[in-house]
Structure 1
């Protein structure tokens, strides 16, 4: 199962409205307008995400679990993996045009975004995993104990100084509270694809 990361180990990129420990988990209330994005399509730079980051060692992985109980436009939670202000990855579940979708934003100067609808995940526990091995971060996710789904393979320099942890944003509203239930580190994935 890996090593539990204490919530107190991380440092916030931007302080949320409220943070409360609860039964081993963490309730985080996001500020209205919080977001992470650089330039592409929208033309703006937002770096107001609430990401609780600590050092991610090379050849390791992090997993963050949270309850998918939010439904407003662009509500989002998952993992944030940061090299610097212009190089970062966020991955998790975001509400887009009325639908919960699993996806990732990979940013290297400019952001790109991919989404895949997961309407059957609503109301359940989601785990997002970022596995750093060699020159790549492999993002996988699952709901409850269902099989892992591959979300994204993104470049991540093997010698970079990386911080990572849980994050959330509420670009369009006040009052979003995410219930994070677990944060842990593990060994990285042994391979990208299962053996055939």
Structure 2
């Protein structure tokens, strides 16, 4: 099973990715985890990413693509993977399609975790993090919506929408059911 997970910050896609990963037996690949691993191991990609992060800048898309491309060559991805936080742009989606196409494979589906903005704000404020003011959260949601809208169009024929407003177990059951009902028909 090869899946991309999309959803705004606070939608719970990281939690759902972990649960799905355990359930279907494929690795959960998070770009944040990839950055941390490469930086901790002081790899050439990690050193390059660190220079940008240390300067408070975004890691360029080319570096992110290289990290994901490299991770997808690891044998544990042979039977599938869950991508969380990638792609974030059409260019990254096209790079992913090219990488998978070179291996003769394609995505099974794109899970879009849908949740009302006010529910996300409520969830994130409840975490009590100092850097999570309502204004900052709403700005992050606005940026996410602007960046992701083109991806929703790009992947329109592969999207499985998941209502992410419920409790973790409820969302997981819904996700598993929708995957079972939709992926087998593709």
TM-score of Structure 1 vs Structure 2, range by shorter chain: under 0.3
TM-score (ref. length: structure 2)? 0.27
TM-score (ref. length: structure 1)? 0.26
More strand by share: 1
Larger Rg: 2
